[in-house]
Amino acid sequence: MPKIKSVARSPHVDMTPMVDLFTLLLTFFLLTAVFIPMEPAQITIPVSVSAKAVPDHNIMTLYIAPDKRIFFNYDNGQDTSFHYRIQLLEEMGGRYHINFTPAELKHFSNAGTFGLPMKDIKAWLDTKNAKDAEQLQTGIPMDSLDNQLAWWVRLGRTVNPYAEVAIKADGNVEFPVIKKVLDLVQSNGVNRFDFITTYDKEEVGLKDLPK
Amino acid sequence: MAEIIQEEKRQKGGKKRPRRGVARVDMTPMVDLMALLLTFFMLTTAFNKPKIMVITMPEKDNKPHDQPKIDAKRTLNILLGDSDRVYYYMGIADPNKPLPTLIKTNFSKDGLRRLLLEKNRALFTKIVDYKSARAKGRIVVADTTAENYIKQLKIDDNVGPIVLIKPDVKAKYKDVVATIDEMSICNIASYAIVDLSPTEKDMLKSAPR
């Protein structure tokens, strides 16, 4: 009997389905991607059962780091026609007699979270060195002599009256620090706060009622 | 690479013919690139957005003389100390009368939650009944209507506890959040964050650890 000759084929793997799948996944991630925002300090937020998501716009966030430094973030408005951050910096500059160049304003508009005294803002906006910029982030002063945080909050509300105040504080910070911030925000006419927390579901029903 | 192009064996003296291979595109670099991008997006995407807990603080008035009178029998004071310690007592600590004793509890299911559920039994049962009736389809109303109904139940409640959360100077923020969280879990109608009185500070100091 003659042997059946197996035809020598090139060991070619068809990659097309793989490419299809990858494109699909990639498109999905591209469309749904919400990037993790850069934060100046590691903050471990407490847990709650509240399932309400953080709003994307009209929000100012006060960060309270474990070392009690205070950072501030302010959203730029719903679309490109709003420039809340630029307006805010101009207002603050006017208050502290600092003039900002258009380039600095532009840079600030995209800068994200910051926490530094007004006197350092110009240097922070001008520096190209990330390490130097990091060094300047010493927290926003909020002592009674020069309460810059109060001005950020107040002018933030002037620039965008719909801005809500969210507080993102580290769980291990002592409450009086938070209380001080709350009092400060309340003295600016805001009585509603959002505490930023992580969601953790808790089911409690009638069966949990003590007998 | 995945594709190995075989050399064609040519016989000596044979005619040189142009190879007619299948027009195949090597997809591997594309797959490589896509895997890379995919990994990048997967790692940088924030999947679970943080949530917010909305707190409405009472309006600040600078007139301390007209503080609202609250029913002492319904008042439940929760005192938060350092290193996650929690105490509670009922009523009001009046320095001219014998002081109530602080009872130590914790943030577990059998601690603070059990206490709050016990005190808030009537309102809690009403709200849970209403919610389960909605879930089972016995009551069909819009979400906002249901929310308003529950809000009204909370306003009408006049037997449940009035909880005063009193964090000490050493109390951690996460304990305060956990306590407020218990309020929403147990459907407590009225609660507030209040400062400790000097009497309570002394009570907390002498409390068993």
Query: Model ipTM?
Result: 0.74
User: With 0-12 CB in 10 A as exposed, 13-18 as middle and 19+ as buried, what is A67?
Assistant: exposed
Any idea which of A137-141, B16-20, B79-83, B134-138 has the lowest mean pLDDT? B16-20
Report the pLDDT averaged over residues B67-89.
Answer: 78
> B88 forms bridges with which residues in the sheet?
B78, B103
Q: Please, what's the b/e burial string for B198-208 (b: 16 or more CB within 10 A of its CB; e: otherwise)?
A: eebeebbeebe
Q: In this prediction, what percent of chain A has a pLDDT beyond 90?
A: 0
Task: Supply the pLDDT for residue B20.
Answer: 67
- Give tens-digit pLDDT for B65-74: 555 666 777 8
| Lookup: tokens for B34 | 């896509």
Task: Supply the pLDDT for residue B64.
Answer: 56
Task: Supply the pLDDT for residue B1.
Answer: 46
**A15 part of contact set with chain B, CB < 8 Å:** yes
Q: Using alpha carbons only, how large is chain B's radius of gyration in Å?
A: 33
Res B6 pLDDT > 60: no
Alpha carbon distance B64, A141 (integer Å): 29
Report the pLDDT averaged over residues B82-101.
Answer: 79
Give which of A22, A39, A60, A181 to mutate to test B binding, by max B Cβ within 10 Å: A22
**B97 part of contact set with chain A, CB < 8 Å:** no
Res B171 pLDDT > 50: yes
Choice between B55 and B20, residue whose per-residue pLDDT is larger? B55
| Lookup: tokens for A173 | 């910070």
| B residues 24-63 closer than 8 Å to A (CB) | 24, 27-28, 30-31, 34-35, 37-38, 41-42, 44-46, 48-60
CB atoms < 10 A from the CB of B89, how many?
A: 19
Task: Supply the pLDDT for residue A51.
Answer: 78
User: With 0-12 CB in 10 A as exposed, 13-18 as middle and 19+ as buried, what is B164?
Assistant: buried
**Arithmetic mean of pLDDT over chain A:** 80
- Which residue shows structure tokens 């809690």? B124
Task: Give chain B's end-to-end CA distance (angstroms, integer).
Answer: 68
**DSSP H or E stretch at residue B191:** strand B190-193
Domain coordinates of chain B in residue numbers?
76-206
Res B40 pLDDT > 80: yes
- Give tens-digit pLDDT for A170-185: 888 888 888 888 888 8
Report the pLDDT averaged over residues B139-147.
Answer: 80
**Arithmetic mean of pLDDT over chain B:** 77
DSSP class of residue B60 equals P
- Which residue shows structure tokens 């309102």? B123
Q: What is the pTM of this model?
A: 0.74
- Give tens-digit pLDDT for A76-110: 777 767 778 888 888 888 878 888 888 888 877 77
Res B85 pLDDT > 80: yes
Task: Give chain A's end-to-end CA distance (angstroms, integer).
Answer: 88
| Lookup: tokens for A86 | 């630029």
Alpha carbon distance B142, B134 (integer Å): 10
**A170 part of contact set with chain B, CB < 8 Å:** yes
- CA neighbor of A176 nearest in space, from B92, B119, B22, B195: B195
- Give tens-digit pLDDT for A15-43: 788 888 888 988 888 887 776 666 777 87
Res B4 pLDDT > 60: no
Task: Supply the pLDDT for residue A37.
Answer: 66
Res B103 pLDDT > 50: yes
DSSP β-ladder status, A59-64 and A164-169: parallel
Task: Supply the pLDDT for residue B17.
Answer: 63
Question: How would residue B179 be classed by pLDDT, with cut points 50, 70 and 90?
Answer: confident
- Give tens-digit pLDDT for B131-142: 888 888 777 778
Give which of B31, B165, B172, B173 to mutate to test A binding, by max A Cβ within 10 Å: B173
Alpha carbon distance A92, B50 (integer Å): 29
Res B38 pLDDT > 60: yes
Alpha carbon distance B10, B16 (integer Å): 8
Question: How would residue B15 be classed by pLDDT, with cut points 50, 70 and 90?
Answer: low
| A residues 149-168 closer than 8 Å to B (CB) | 166, 168
Report the pLDDT averaged over residues B101-108.
Answer: 80
Alpha carbon distance A144, B95 (integer Å): 33
| Lookup: tokens for A134 | 């990091």
Cα dihedral B33, B36, B39, B43, rounded to 10, equals: -130
Task: Supply the pLDDT for residue B57.
Answer: 77
* Angle CA A32–A37–A43, to nearest 5: 130
- Which residue shows structure tokens 């909880």? B163
Any idea which of A56-65, B6-15, B143-152 has the lowest mean pLDDT? B6-15
Domain coordinates of chain A in residue numbers?
55-172+179-199
Res B61 pLDDT > 70: no
Alpha carbon distance B121, B189 (integer Å): 12
Alpha carbon distance B163, B76 (integer Å): 5
